[in-house]
Amino acid sequence: MGLLDDVVNAAGGGQGQSNNPMIGHVLDMIKNHPGGITGLIDSFHQNGLGGLVSSWIGTGQNLPLSSEQIQAVLGSSQVANLAAKAGISPEQAKAELSKLLPQVMDKLSPNGQLPQGGSGMLEAAMGMLKGKL
């Protein structure tokens, strides 16, 4: 099973299809975050949540993420933007993000590290995944 299949399966789908429409919005959010995935990771570290995001990238158990932590890292504007794109309330968006983001980040970092090739490799992987949804 490949990286993209793992991400889709983590989002609740199988055989290349996701049953969760939020996965595309989460991937867009990661891609469009200032600095991409690295910038998002840095945002977690800057907000005192480096250990949390490191658990998703590492090979151990993924620590849970709360709606309040999402709010602290992303801020109201980014949460509201994601909610508007998904057609849901900001509270629902935070709840969905708190479930999906750890899984997506975990699957985008196989073997406990970001794929070689940096952000270009991740953008290509996210673009291919999004095309399967």
CATH code, domain with 17: 1.10.10.690
pLDDT at res. 124: 56
- 69 with 99: CB under 8 angstroms? no
Can you tell me the mean pLDDT for 11-32?
A: 69
Structure confidence by residue, pLDDT tens digits, 22-67: 888 888 888 888 988 889 999 999 999 999 999 998 888 999 999 9
Contacts of 11 (CB under 8 A, 6+ apart): 18, 19, 20, 22, 23, 26, 100, 103, 104
The four Cα atoms 129, 74, 35, 2 give a dihedral, to 10 degrees, of -20
Domain interval for residue 79: 3-132
How many domains does the chain contain in total? Answer: 1
Which residue is associated with the tokens 């975050």? 33
- Inform me whether the pLDDT recorded for 17 exceeds 50: no
pLDDT at res. 19: 59
pLDDT at res. 119: 52
Q: Which of 28, 56, 40 is nearest to 127 (CA)?
A: 28
Cα separation, 107 vs 111, in Å, equals 9
Structure confidence by residue, pLDDT tens digits, 71-115: 999 999 999 999 999 999 999 999 999 999 998 888 888 777 776
Q: How far apart are the first and last CA of the chain?
A: 17
Predicted model pTM:
0.75
pLDDT at res. 4: 46
Can you tell me the mean pLDDT for 8-33?
A: 68
Please state, in angstroms and as integers, the Cα–Cα distance from residue 103 to each residue in 76, 88, 98, following that order. 22, 21, 9
pLDDT at res. 101: 93
